Structure 1
């Protein structure tokens, strides 16, 4: 089973426990895995690389490496993330195996932001990987895809049903490294006990509907068990792409029996 890690936080003088787990798989049809992820408190990120030869793998891994350095610095916020992305763009462009002008990566995830008495989640997104939130037993997509299909849906020219299987379904309009630097979209979310985030590449959402994601969250409370179950289902349903996902959940500490590996106030 995928490993579940934990970290104690305090929000409005109330102790809460964060638990998370992440997993990535090549899938059943791809020759390589061009996805990468980072699950290291307080930042949880999925990157889905694209580009010929080894380009996609280079783009996603370079971006995750730069963001890991941000976590190690102890200062995770919008400016530090955007500075890391600028450095990653340079890494991608300078890499000797990166020759495809279309090389780049999506980037999506959440980070925990605490400033004095105020705490929040910040979701960020570039591309068509997604962040979902299960709150009060209702699953909501927090991020908006940067894709041709989503633009058509927003313009009222395409229904969500028509979008499934659309010939441009894989065409994204924003990425890290594909062109000049693009800043992420940000969404601020309040912190509540019981919340569960799913951060995933489109390799998961190609194979599982929103209903399916919600089903596995209901069936498996432990994040490690839930990511294992979702990955198995995605592979069973075809595994047409690399599959990467992270689950992060917030629990009232008095309601959790999980061991605490890392603590912070």
Structure 2
């Protein structure tokens, strides 16, 4: 799982951060349309859509665009949002240059270290149905909200999360990069806590493993690289029906006694958007 071109060269951007990354094409797909970055202060996964190598192009553009700000210090939330907007415009430009790639797009989700009021914070961002989970003091929580048809039905009480896992519309996303207007990211800004971990993943992981599986595997594998590799491995063993990509970010240190487990949402933009299918 370490020879795939979609796998980033995971580098430790600061002494307190330990980072791991892994990816696998899975058992069904011929190409890996996922891409990831784990460099500097930016950690993200993009899940391309469009087929015929177009998905690979879109996810690659998203990751390459984020790479341009990975070494920037200080990085602001506005910098991050502007770069995601630039990635969207570049994907649209690539389609304009090669119309046969019309319809290609990508999800993108991740975390970035940003400066807010002169201090470090995490900016968790998301477009689409790839996810960011946060492990803190033994509790695993999903930070991002899926932009998907099934999530809208869950929120409306029409179906349960368990039913969503096998629903025929489970692969239909309502927001993505590669659209004229429906690409706005959700962004949450939360303070860092020593001992916390983030799991950034494409839906190839969460379609195969549930939150309990993720929690158990994280408990068993405190090392970031080992955790990323094992999460991907277990998803492939469980079915591997899609590409699977995982980035794990550990913030080293002991958590303070007053550690909280739920992030403070600084910006809420989770309204339903136009529909695209991966």
**Residues 1:98 and 1:62: Cα distance change in structure 2 (over 3 Å):** farther
Gap regions ≥5 residues in structure 1:
10-16, 254-265
* Residues 1-265 of structure 1 aligned to structure 2 (within 5 Å): 5-8=11-14, 17-74=16-73, 76-95=75-94, 96-97=97-98, 99-115=100-116, 118-180=119-181, 182-252=183-253
SS in 1 for 2:188: strand
Paired with 2:17 and 2:71, the residues of 1 have a C-alpha distance of: 19
More strand, by proportion: 1
Paired with 1:22 and 1:98, the residues of 2 have a C-alpha distance of: 33
CA contact (8 A) 2:91 2:177 kept: no
Paired with 1:74 and 1:120, the residues of 2 have a C-alpha distance of: 13
Paired with 1:242 and 1:199, the residues of 2 have a C-alpha distance of: 14
Paired with 1:72 and 1:214, the residues of 2 have a C-alpha distance of: 31
SS in 2 for 1:80: helix
SS in 2 for 1:153: helix
Q: Deviations over 1:28-58 (max 9, x none)?
A: 1101111000101211011000013121111
RMSD of aligned alpha carbons:
2.0
Q: Deviations over 1:181-220 (max 9, x none)?
A: 5221011222111101000000011111111111111111
**Residues 1:85 and 1:235: Cα distance change in structure 2 (over 3 Å):** same
Q: How much has 1:125 moved relative to structure 2? A: 0.4
**Residues 1:29 and 1:8: Cα distance change in structure 2 (over 3 Å):** same
Paired with 1:239 and 1:139, the residues of 2 have a C-alpha distance of: 23
CA contact (8 A) 2:126 2:144 kept: yes
Aligned residue pairs total: 246
- Using structure 2 for the length normalisation, give the TM-score: 0.82
CA contact (8 A) 1:201 1:243 kept: yes
The structure whose RCO (Cα within 8 Å, separation 6+) is larger is 1
Deviates more, 1:177-186 or 1:105-114: 177-186
Q: How much has 1:82 moved relative to structure 2? A: 2.7
**Residues 1:198 and 1:98: Cα distance change in structure 2 (over 3 Å):** farther
Paired with 1:221 and 1:133, the residues of 2 have a C-alpha distance of: 14
SS in 2 for 1:71: coil
Q: How much has 1:136 moved relative to structure 2? A: 1.2
**Residues 1:156 and 1:223: Cα distance change in structure 2 (over 3 Å):** same
SS in 2 for 1:169: coil
- Using structure 1 for the length normalisation, give the TM-score: 0.86
Deviates more, 1:126-135 or 1:95-104: 95-104
**2:6 matched to which residue of 1?**
none
**Residues 1:98 and 1:52: Cα distance change in structure 2 (over 3 Å):** farther
Gap regions ≥5 residues in structure 2:
3-8, 255-278
